[in-house]
Amino acid sequence: MSDVLAVADHRRGELRPVSYELLTAGRELADALDGDLHAAVVGGNVDRFADKLDCEGVDAIHTVAEGSEFNHDVTVAAVTALFEALDPSAVVMPNSVNGLDYAPAVATRLSLPLVTDAVALDYDDGLTVTREMYGSKVETAVAVDEGPVALTVRGGEWPAAEGVGEAAIEAFEVDIDESSIRSTVRGFEEVGAGDVDISEAEFIVSVGRGIEEEENLELVEELADALDATLAASRPIVDNGWLPKNRQVGQSGKVVTPKVYLALGISGAVQHVAGMKGADTIIAVNTDPDAPIFDIADYGIVDDLFEVVPELIERFES
Amino acid sequence: MKILVTVKEVAAVADDFEIEGLEIPETYLEYDLNEWDDYAIEAAVRIAEDRDEEVEVVAVTLGPERSEETIRMALAKGVDRAVRVWDDALAEADVLDPTTTARIIAAVAEREDPDLVLSGVQAADDGFGATGVALADLLDMGWAAVVNDLELGEGEASVRRELEGGVEELTTVDLPAVLTIQTGINEPRYASLRGIRQAQRKELAVHSLADLDLDPAVVDDALTLTRLAKPETESDATIFEGDPGETAAELETVLRDAGVGAE
Ligand SMILES: Cc1cc2nc3c(=O)[nH]c(=O)nc-3n(C[C@H](O)[C@H](O)[C@H](O)COP(=O)(O)OP(=O)(O)OC[C@H]3O[C@@H](n4cnc5c(N)ncnc54)[C@H](O)[C@@H]3O)c2cc1C
């Protein structure tokens, strides 16, 4: 039998959405392998989490009651021990910030091949993982030789597991060697509060690295004024200190759901898209016809924003 | 104190590019220092500048001779010396398991015995986002991933890890440690002309896998690239054609229909 182990993600008392998505990915793989799907949750209120993870298709849930929050040292120890006990064909982990913080260590400790940020898994004699390169401009397929594998899956690519399953829920005891704990989580902090809340905005003009220079921001500010829209940005603009953190749209910034999202000189990296894909209408202006932003846009202009934006300002100002 | 910084020259594809088989022809590739590594270099150089004690900053890279141009940029920004690992076996590998990359860097790190290793969160080209943490585990060091603030204390580092949704985690990690550095942690400097001149004289050692006592077979990992393609777009975007005046006019209609600019 070839089982699959899927490891849930949680933070501050809540399972994160990717947890349910990786159950679906794990179930697909377990079906292809004709095996069982084991879910695991490490730390926090594991009993409550286990109940929630008991979705259709989950065969067993292993709870490791160690600590209240994610700690990568504990998670690596727990997942490694579970893997050794269950001997599955694959361990599926989230490609979240916490996933990035422990999955590679699970792979090295167990000497497993590691493929991160999977967007599709195909099984036909062997496992082939689809992932993206060059900021989503190229798609690659990577075949994994026989044997067990460690995978992290991108959030938002698989539907969330639903329904109620009949999983056996079992507490799994792990001997955590105190000396192996080298990191301590001291707390959390919300950042990015400020004068404007872009998550409430109805119309957003958002600007990316295509703006090139800080001085050029004036142009998009002018446009935002003319359209009576709120100005937001992709990460590099905030990294450069050109706009405050509370204007950043994306995975580590804000999630926005405006009626209109006008993306100027933004490539559409997955971490950016995570924050704006829920907009009713997405419009992109980008010089690169292959920019991934066009894949999710409703309307697009393949042109220089410095040519298009002044024309647009003129139309709304007059 | 010694700080090791892992750096990579990454390729970006040009706006119009083609794929031939499992490769993108060189003409469509533009090379540059990995964005995340630029911030890691800056973090390392600042520690060296701010500390009273002597701090050596060493950059390590896996890359062909061409990548020396990029590595020289790191040297020009204040890195003291660099180690480049390359080998025929590496040149032939189509895709490297990130843990394989980490194994090779670990061989360099073991020789250097650093007190701190700084790595970028991810490489912009293959985007595995795994080398730093894998390296930490192989070196039996502590680690923290996606760090956007760093303070070194006695025997430990206090860091902020940037989680999703504007939440940061405050964590302390025992030293020696590997930290993967997120963009925005600092403002990377430009290389000065003087720095660029000095970089020419700095040591850039080149090692093969054998030099590091690694079997070239380390590269024969379990991953094989089987397909490289432009993603099939499911886009049903309406693309406005014409000069900027025309496209802006079309865009105006869409915006007005959506209620933008209404009184
Ligand atoms: C853990 C993690 C979290 C992250 N969180 C976020 C996040 O919350 N938000 C976020 O945005 N990113 C985030 N990122 C970064 C993300 O991966 C990208 O690096 C970033 O979104 C790229 O921003 P961009 O599109 O502005 O820049 P680029 O990707 O450089 O794109 C610039 C675009 O501008 C176009 N362009 C250039 N000149 C012009 C012109 N004159 N006219 C029109 N178009 C032009 C180019 O064709 C290109 O498509 C995160 C990354 C990581 C690893």
SS (H, E, C) B114-139: CCEEEEECCCCCCCCCCHHHHHHHHH
Distance CA B130, CA A116 (A): 8
Inter-chain touch B260–A252, beta carbons under 8 Å: no
Q: Is residue B234 part of a domain?
A: no
What confidence category does residue A214 fall into, taking pLDDT thresholds of 50, 70 and 90? very high
In this predicted structure, the answer to whether residue A240 has a pLDDT above a threshold of 90 is: yes
The vertex-A240 CA angle with B122 and A280, nearest 5°, equals 80
Residue B229: what pLDDT?
96
Cβ(B7)–Cβ(B124) below 8 Å: no
Q: Is residue B256 part of a domain?
A: no
Computed over every residue of chain B, the mean pLDDT equals: 96
Distance CA A2, CA A187 (A): 39
What confidence category does residue A65 fall into, taking pLDDT thresholds of 50, 70 and 90? very high
Distance CA A28, CA A57 (A): 10
Distance CA B37, CA B8 (A): 7
Domains belonging to chain A, first-starting first, are 4-180 (3.40.50.620), 203-317 (3.40.50.1220)
Residue B263: what pLDDT?
59
Maximal C-alpha separation, chain A: 71
Q: Average pLDDT of A118-129?
A: 95
Secondary structure (3-state) at A253: coil
Q: Average pLDDT of A105-127?
A: 96
Q: Is residue B202 part of a domain?
A: yes
pTM, full prediction: 0.97
What confidence category does residue A262 fall into, taking pLDDT thresholds of 50, 70 and 90? very high
In this predicted structure, the answer to whether residue A185 has a pLDDT above a threshold of 70 is: yes
Interface of B with A in 161-220 (CB under 8 A): 161-174, 177, 180, 183-184, 187
Residue A318: what pLDDT?
67
**Antiparallel, parallel or unpaired: β B223-229 and B156-162:** unpaired
- H/E element, A196: none
Domain span at residue B177 reads 2-219
Interface of B with A in 122-161 (CB under 8 A): 124-134, 136-138, 141-146, 158, 160-161
Distance CA A109, CA A242 (A): 42
SS (H, E, C) chain B: CEEEEECCEEEEECCCCCCECCECCHHHEEEEECHHHHHHHHHHHHHHHHCCCCCEEEEEEECCHHHHHHHHHHHHCCCCEEEEECCHHHHHCCCCCHHHHHHHHHHHHHHHCCCEEEEECCCCCCCCCCHHHHHHHHHCCEEEEEEEEEEECCCEEEEEEECHHHEEEEEEEECCEEEEECCCCCCCCCCCHHHHHHHHHCCEEEECCHHHCCCHHHHCCCEEEEEEECCCCCCCCEEECCCHHHHHHHHHHHHHHCCCCCC
Nearest CA to ligand 1 atom 9: A250
Candidate from A138, A234, A277 with most ligand 1 atoms within 8 A of CB, to mutate: A234
Residue B93 belongs to domain with CATH number:
3.40.50.620
Nearest CA in chain B to A95: B129
Q: Is residue B224 part of a domain?
A: no
Residue A146: what pLDDT?
86
Residue B130: what pLDDT?
98
Burial of residue B1 (CB within 10 Å: 0-12, 13-18, 19+) is middle
Q: Is residue B7 part of a domain?
A: yes
**Which has more pLDDT, A318 or A138?**
A138
Q: Is residue B34 part of a domain?
A: yes
Domains of chain B: total: 1
In this predicted structure, the answer to whether residue A64 has a pLDDT above a threshold of 70 is: yes
CA of B47 to the centre of ligand 1 (A): 28
Q: Is the CB of A165 under 6 A from ligand 1?
A: no
Distance CA B62, CA B50 (A): 29
Contact list, A222 vs chain B (CB under 8 Å): none
**Which has more pLDDT, B130 or A179?**
B130
Contact list, A108 vs chain B (CB under 8 Å): 99, 102, 134, 137-138
In Å, how far from its chain's centre is CA B253? 42
Distance CA A273, CA A234 (A): 10
Burial of residue A178 (CB within 10 Å: 0-12, 13-18, 19+) is exposed
In this predicted structure, the answer to whether residue A1 has a pLDDT above a threshold of 90 is: no
Q: Average pLDDT of A50-76?
A: 97
Inter-chain touch A300–B237, beta carbons under 8 Å: yes
Q: Is residue B142 part of a domain?
A: yes
Q: Is residue B209 part of a domain?
A: yes
Which residues of chain B are under the pLDDT cut of 70? 263
Distance CA A31, CA A127 (A): 13
Distance CA A175, CA B42 (A): 40
pLDDT in tens, A6-51: 999 999 999 999 999 999 999 999 999 999 999 999 999 999 999 9
Q: Average pLDDT of A266-271?
A: 96
